[in-house]
Amino acid sequence: MYVRLKIGSSFQIGDVVSFDSSSQSWVSAQDLSKLVGVINSQPTQYEGDDFHTAELVFSGIVQAKASRDVAVEGGLMAVESGGVYVSATDPHCGAIAPQIYSDSSVRPAGSLVMVHLR
C-alpha cells in the first residue's frame, strides 16, 4: 500500500524521506528520529497543480536506494542521507533482503535494494 503525498520534484524512486515540521515538507531522511517513507513512483505534476506528488510507502515491501554497499546476505536496515544501509548496531526499522540466489555480487551504493519496512 502507498499514500500519494506532495513531494519535491527532485526526488527519485527509492529515495527515503521523512517529514520536516519546520519547513512543512518531505525531505531526505537522515536517520530514524522521525517516521520514514520510501518514494515508490516518480514525482508527477498534474495539470493545474503547482506542486508534485508521488506514492510513498511507509510499511511493507519496497525498493529503496542503498546509501552504502549492501552485502549479499542483506541485514537489519538503518537510514542515512536519504538511503538505507545494513547495520547490526544502529537503530533499525526493517530489513534489507538478501541478494537473489543466482547473483553473488555486492549491491553498490546508489542501487535499489528490496527492503521490508516495519
> What is the pTM for the complete model shown?
0.93
Give 6-61 pLDDT, tens digit per residue. Answer: 999 999 999 999 999 998 899 999 999 999 999 999 999 999 999 999 999 999 99
SS (H, E, C) the chain: CCEEEEECCCCCCCCEEEEECCCCEEEECCCCCCCEEEECCCCECCCCCCCEEEEEECCEEEEEEECCCECCCCEEEEEECCEEEECCCCCCCEEECCCCCCCCCCECCCCEEEEEEC
Q: Is pLDDT of 1 > 80?
A: no
